[in-house]
Amino acid sequence: MTDQPTLMVAGPPPESPARTRPPARAAVRIGLVQERWHPDSAEHEAALAAGVRLAASEGARIVCLQELTLSPYFAITPDGPRAVGAEPEELSSGPTLAFARRLAAETGAYVHASLYERADGPDGPDGLGYNTAIVAAPDGRLVQRTRKLHIPVTAGYYEDRYFRPGPADGDPFPLIELPVLGGGAPARLGCPTCWDQWFPELARAYSLAGADVLIYPTAIGSEPDHPAFDTEPLWQRVITANGIANGTFMVAVNRIGVEGPITFYGSSFISDPYGRILVQAPRDQPAVLVADLDLDQRRDWLELFPFLRTRRPDAYGSLVDARAGSGLIAAAGQRQRVVAGEGCADRERRVGGDRSEGGGERVRDQADDASCDDLPAAFVRQLDREQVRLGVENVAVEGGERDSHREERSGVDRRGEMVALSLLEVGRHQIGRERQDTDPQQQRQIQHEDHVVGLAQAADHRVMVDPDDPDREERGRVGDVARPHLRQGMTQILVGVGVRDGDVQHQQRRRDCEHAVREGL
């Protein structure tokens, strides 16, 4: 038996403090349904349908449902769809669109839903599909289909093993025009999905297209590798902030309940262009939210703070440079001084230490003798003996201080260097730790940390070599061995990096490393 959802109806829209003239459009009423996953499909559909009917009975013109509406959140394992029995569905003939159409026809409201859409790759079926949001009209038309653009790759959210990114060609930011009762121009709605909500570029693109409202079907909760880190406040903050920066209402529809290692934290909400939460659901209970959106608050706010008119597109070239992300990571890493052991005081410029002392050669020789599986341990043993002779210049950029050797290193593969810097930041932080802890779980975590340090040193050995170095080809073998480890084992390795509970700085450092490996090698 399903729990009865709590109906939560927002009061009248709050005053628009930037308003200088009467609104030209009537308000639009929007609803959402927050639910858990029910293993019995009939029970699950009944719970969602009850929520849609309740919202529609309160006058909602559109009712929004959670990500993967009729499915469990199956991307909790990296094993892929076949291993977990996840089957993509045909959009036009599948159960999700049929469900949305049926409820739209019954209630007279538009129904928004989300599904795992079948989509073969260019070379035929490859097991991946699209994560797709749809909107069905009361007359049965499919009036919106938007494929998720950004795909997360992190512990418990292994979506790259299930979904391909939505195509960037054509119109990746489509809008639906929702007629407004009472007259005036229609409400313009965009329907991105979950991970998309973290990207300011996406919200800006929708706003430039004229979106009034962004609807994010969502499946987010605990972090399996950091169970004490509650990301819910950050999640809410980034969505409302993107709404402020772009003059949009935001509708975030999360799920609740426990599925595998994830406890979904609900907290679905609707916010306005001023960042005010109009109504919000509990973290762990089914709920139906309904709110009136004063659409011309967007106009009022963007007239007072004209973000769109005062942009500088001519200065934003790096935003569309696929290589630019690694540079940002390196810049962030340079702002943090090395926190390791006394052995790091000299900060040698060349990898593996001062060549006159043979430090670099000893690391290389040991790595060359190691098998692919033994490589990380070999590097860690060398690092332990040498303390932290990591050999990378890491001059802090503080108070205008600059890296005095930047020009001298101009011939080096900068992008690879940036990857190494990000990885080494983790290594530096962890290398000074005691390794005598008797807790088996702690020992496993330390082993993961050691693996990261070793791979970081291997990557650094590869990319910090002078192009004119006669031994460059031989040294490159180390990186060639490390590279597949870094790519294929990125998530499994880095999820074990030690992060103190609640320490957001260390959490971000780990995510920077993940991004660097994914984008850089």
CB contact at 8 A, 249 and 300: no
| 160 in the same domain as 298 | yes
Does residue 485 surpass a pLDDT of 70?
A: no
| 376 in the same domain as 250 | no
Is residue 223 in a domain? Answer: yes
* Annotation says 148 is catalytic: yes
Instruction: Indicate the DSSP class of residue 417.
Output: H
- Which of 177, 174, 173 has the alpha carbon at shortest distance from 188? 177
What integer pLDDT is reported at residue 230 of this predicted model?
Answer: 97
Is residue 309 in a domain? Answer: no
CB contact at 8 A, 333 and 421: yes
| 175 in the same domain as 287 | yes
| 189 in the same domain as 63 | yes
- Active-site hit among 35, 67, 417, 449: 67
* Annotation says 177 is catalytic: no
Among 162-176, 409-423, 440-454, the least confident range: 409-423
Does residue 290 surpass a pLDDT of 80?
A: yes
What integer pLDDT is reported at residue 326 of this predicted model?
Answer: 57
What integer pLDDT is reported at residue 292 of this predicted model?
Answer: 98
| 104 in the same domain as 251 | yes
Please state the φ and ψ torsions of residue 454, each to the nearest 5 degrees: -65, -45
Query: Could you tell me how far CA 196 lies from the centroid of its own chain?
Result: 7
Mean pLDDT over residues 100-124, rounded?
93
Residue 440 to residue 232: CA distance in whole angstroms: 30
| 328 in the same domain as 300 | no
| 290 in the same domain as 367 | no
Mean pLDDT over residues 231-240, rounded?
98
What integer pLDDT is reported at residue 126 of this predicted model?
Answer: 79
Is residue 276 in a domain? Answer: yes
Last residue of a domain, one of 249, 272, 304: 304
Is residue 432 in a domain? Answer: yes
| 421 in the same domain as 291 | no
Last residue of a domain, one of 304, 334, 368: 304
| 198 in the same domain as 52 | yes
Among 63-67, 327-331, 338-342, 481-485, the least confident range: 338-342
Structural domain total, the chain: 2
Is residue 434 in a domain? Answer: yes
Specify the amino acid at residue 437: D
CB contact at 8 A, 191 and 135: yes
| 190 in the same domain as 57 | yes
* Annotation says 194 is catalytic: yes
Residues ≥6 apart with Cβ < 8 Å to 219: 66, 67, 68, 73, 194, 254, 255, 264
Is residue 252 in a domain? Answer: yes
| 358 in the same domain as 282 | no
- Active-site hit among 148, 344, 513, 514: 148
Last residue of a domain, one of 254, 272, 304: 304
- Active-site hit among 64, 117, 159, 194: 194
Confidence of residue 447 (pLDDT cuts 50, 70, 90): low
In the chain, what's the furthest Cα-to-Cα distance?
A: 81
Residue 44 belongs to a domain with what CATH number? 3.60.110.10
Is residue 1 in a domain? Answer: no
Q: How far apart are the first and last CA of the chain?
A: 50
| 480 in the same domain as 396 | yes
What integer pLDDT is reported at residue 483 of this predicted model?
Answer: 52
Mean pLDDT over residues 40-55, rounded?
98
Confidence of residue 434 (pLDDT cuts 50, 70, 90): very low
Is residue 473 in a domain? Answer: yes
The pTM of the full predicted model, rounded to 2 decimals, is 0.66
- DSSP H helices, 10-86, are 41-57, 81-84
Does residue 356 surpass a pLDDT of 90?
A: no
Residue 87 to residue 1: CA distance in whole angstroms: 26
CB contact at 8 A, 277 and 11: no
Greater model confidence, 104 or 504: 104
Mean pLDDT (the chain, rounded): 76
What integer pLDDT is reported at residue 414 of this predicted model?
Answer: 41
Task: Write out the residue range of the structural domain in which residue 124 sits.
Answer: 6-304
**363-401 pLDDT tens trace:** 333 333 333 333 344 433 343 333 333 333 332 333 333
Among 127-136, 285-294, 490-499, the least confident range: 490-499
SS (H, E, C) 338-394: CCCCHHHCCCCCCCCCCHHHCHHHHHHHHHHHCCCCCHHHHHHHHHHHCCCCCCCCC
**254-288 pLDDT tens trace:** 999 999 999 999 999 999 999 999 999 999 999 99
Residues ≥6 apart with Cβ < 8 Å to 364: 352, 461, 474, 475, 478
Question: How much of the chain, in percent, has pLDDT values that exceed 90?
Answer: 57
3-state secondary structure of 334: helix
Instruction: Indicate the DSSP class of residue 243.
Output: H
∠ CA 114-218-136 to the nearest 5 degrees? Answer: 25
SS (H, E, C) 108-163: CCEEEEEEEEECCECCECCCCEEEEEEEECCCCCEEEEEECCCCCEECCEEHHHCE
What integer pLDDT is reported at residue 322 of this predicted model?
Answer: 77
